[in-house]
Amino acid sequence: MAKKKLEAIKNFTAKELKQKLLDAQKALFEGRIKLATGQLENTAQLWKTRKEIARMKTFLTQKSAK
């Protein structure tokens, strides 16, 4: 499954990647708020979201270098 998700991220355009990045950053922020208030049940989701953001930033950098 991870390979499919990675391929999907690779195929996004720069504009789509930026939008997905903003959405992921918003989700991370909301997750941190939930963690602080004790409402977050799946703490691993924060780790996954951070990694997803890092991947998107990497691909954005690669696309801008071309």
CATH number of 2-65: 1.10.287.310
Please report the pLDDT score of residue 28 as a whole number.
97
1-45, pLDDT tens digit by residue?
467 778 888 888 889 999 999 999 999 999 999 999 999 999 999
Please report the pLDDT score of residue 47 as a whole number.
96
Domain residue spans of the chain? 2-65
- In angstroms and rounded to an integer, the radius of gyration of the C-alpha atoms of the chain is 13
Q: What is the DSSP string of 35-55?
A: HHHT--S-THHHHHHHHHHHH
* Spatial separation of the C-alpha atoms in residues 35 and 37, rounded to whole Å: 5
Q: Is pLDDT above 90 for 50?
A: yes
* Spatial separation of the C-alpha atoms in residues 4 and 46, rounded to whole Å: 21
Rounded to an integer, the average pLDDT of 39-57 is 94
